[in-house]
Structure 1
Amino acid sequence: MQISSDEFNAYMKPSTAFERNKHMKHLTHALLSALVISFAPISADAQTGGDETTVDLGGAVLTRPAYVGSDQYQTNLLPYIGFENLYGFDMRGLAISSDVIEMGTGKGPGKWSLEAGPRVSFDFGRDSSDSPTLAGLDDIDSSLLLGGFTRATYGIIGFDLAVGQDVIGGHDGFVADASVGTRYPGQGWFVAPIVTLSWANQNFTQDIYGISQAQTATSALDQFNTKSGFHQVSATLLGGIDLDEDWSLTGLISYREALGDYRDSPIIQAEDGTAAGVFATVGIARRFNF
């Protein structure tokens, strides 16, 4: 989470080396944003305090399903740039946000905090050429989501809610991701288990899981209509280690599974389809302070 409390910094990072190395959180956000997962308040390291601006540069290797519902995997090398406190804005991965509300007694055992503000994020689309199963379906264009976030802590538990509405005609949907988890710090390393539940309206679920009547005439798939609802749950284990005062290595493995009637989607039931997917990534980043 975006943590500004020096007291919580000390609690979460008992070692001197870990206290010095605060850039690991931004690589964490880059990897999670690439997976389209909102885990910011749970897995992140404490942010720098004051008016300091930081920039993080690095890269990551990401292995993921070719698209939602595919059992075929692809591996990509991803560059990363992120910043914190640049004119009041933070950029992590594919999202830009700003803390407008900050309140609470602090962060750590026996304390609570609440942060909220606007958020803009970007989602890549889906091409019908990604698989023979998708042949004849419409491409899903990229989406720009305008929305907001709420991040909270109670003791050592973190909560996050991120919402967004597509405004550029990609999936045209409204999405919401709710996450809960905690973080275990060590001497220059950490691990963080996280669980996320994803909800979306019909515009999103129909584009991702559904087959319209018109598409049945151009594809080999049967008609499948969806509704708004909780469509996916994911469990993630995130970890990181300091390499020195400036560099850190972060990795994660995430298991996702479609829920309820969405599992009956012809895309998921196809020969190369699956209701489950595993995401794995490892990355390295360097922090610059200004």
Structure 2
Amino acid sequence: MKLFAKAAVCSALLVGGIAPGFAADDILVGDLTPTEARKQFVVDVGLAGVVTPKYDGSDDYIVYPLPLIAFSRFYLPGFGQVKDGESQGIFFYPSFSYVGERKPTDDPKLAGTQKVEWAGEVGLGGGYQYDWFRAFAEVRHGFNGHTGIVGRAGIDVLFQPLDRLKIAIGPRVDFADSDYMETYFGSPAGSAVGAYSADGGFKSVGAIARASFAATDDVSLHLQGGWDRLIGDAADSPISLDDDQFTVAIGATYRYDFNLFD
């Protein structure tokens, strides 16, 4: 086991988050070495700098650091390797997300709304990959700022123009239940924009392009650009100032491999 691997992974699980359009599960990672392929867990942990809308529907952008985590191998007792690093077949993975707090002072149109605390999201994702094609879907449950159900599905076309360079391009669709939608897109009577109730359903459609370069066997560099178009009740909400939401992120990860179970 590489030094401090267990501690690093535990910390990542606690603070690992996801900017809109930059899911940790989306990070492209390098091929496994023969030693790594025999481990129960192989995880890439790192940090990204992200440019993203201040909140869903905002026309202002902010820059902030974001922890990253991506599993190449993941073991569950009783199930075995639910993600084993193979380039084809069915796979599963844990899915994490983070939504920053939103204050009524963030924009004049939010006047009269309540402060929304930061929210964490945890869940499960799964998909299928064959050669250059990958499809996936993930569902997460929120806590603290919201207690709703959110999800994302997408398709990737995968390229590897160089031995250490991987590229993925594909469409995305996001959905959320009424709890999430009401929290982030609803507004009460007496607010600056008046009363509005947002129902659950599809929240956005978009696309991403990602590139990852394996600088060494353990260190990878990542670049991603994403676009999401708010639709449905999210787009109709008077809180939404811009239906087109863009995200750019650049980061680096370090790979750990270890066993937890005999």
Please give the TM-score of this superposition, normalised by the length of structure 2. 0.76
Q: How far apart are 1:101 and its partner, in Å?
A: 7.1
- Structure 1 unaligned segments of length 5 or more: list them: 1-29, 90-97
Q: Which has the higher helix share?
A: 1
The question of 1:287 aligning with 2:260 is answered no
One-letter amino acid matched to 1:179: G
Contact 2:24 2:70 in 1 (8 A): no
Residues 42 and 181 of structure 1 are in contact (CA less than 8 Å); yes or no, is this contact kept in structure 2?
no
Counterpart amino acid of residue 283 in structure 1: G
- C-alpha separation in 1, matches of 2:78 and 2:208: 25
Question: 2: CA distance between counterparts of 1:255 and 1:36?
Answer: 7
> Which among 47, 58, 72 is matched to residue 59 of structure 1?
47
Aligned to 2:4: none
3-state secondary structure, aligned to 2:125:
strand
Write the mapping of 1:64-143 to structure 2, written as runs, cut at 5 A: 64-80=52-68, 88=75, 100=79, 113-116=89-92, 119=95, 121-143=97-119
SS at match of 1:183: strand
- Distance in 2 separating the partners of 1:81 and 1:190: 17
The aligned length equals: 240
Corresponding residue number in structure 1 for 2:197? 225
CA distance in 2, matches of 1:50, 1:101: 12
Give the direction of change, closer, same or farther, for the CA distance of 1:37–1:248 in structure 2 (3 Å limit): closer
Unaligned runs of 5+ in 2: 1-14
Which residue, 165, 175, 190 being the options, matches 2:141? 165
- Letter paired with 2:39: D
Q: Which has the higher strand share?
A: 2
* 1:177-197: CA deviation from partner (whole Å, max 9, x where unpaired): 111112101232121102111
- 1-structure distance, mates of 2:17, 2:30: 14
Tell me if the contact between 2:48 and 2:250 (Cα under 8 Å) persists in the aligned partners: yes
Report the more deviating stretch, 196-205 or 51-60: 51-60
Counterpart amino acid of 1:71?
Answer: D
Are 2:25 and 1:40 aligned?
A: yes
Map of 1:277 onto structure 2: 245
Give the drift of 1:102: 6.0
Letter in 2 for 1:65: P
Inter-partner Cα distance in structure 2 for 1:242 and 1:46: 9
Superposed displacement of residue 35, structure 1:
3.0
Identify if the C-alpha distance between structure 1 residues 275 and 41 changes in structure 2 by more than 3 Å, giving closer, same or farther.
closer
Percent identical among aligned pairs is 23
Q: Quote the residue 2:5 is aligned against.
A: none
Instruction: Specify whether residues 133 and 41 from structure 1 end up closer, same or farther in structure 2 by C-alpha distance, changes over 3 A only.
Output: closer
Residue 123 (structure 1) shift? 3.6
Of 177-186 and 256-265, deviating more is 256-265
Q: Closer, same or farther in 2 for the Cα pair 1:60/1:289, shift >3 Å?
A: same
- 2:208 corresponds in structure 1 to 236
Please state how far the C-alpha of 1:233 moved relative to its aligned partner.
1.1
Offset, 1:263: 1.5
How many angstroms apart in 2 are the aligned matches of 1:38 and 1:122?
10
- Cα deviation, 1:222-256, whole Å, max 9, x if unaligned, reads 22222221111121000122333443221011011
CA distance 1:282–1:117, shift in 2 (3 Å)? closer
Counterpart residue number, 2:230: 258
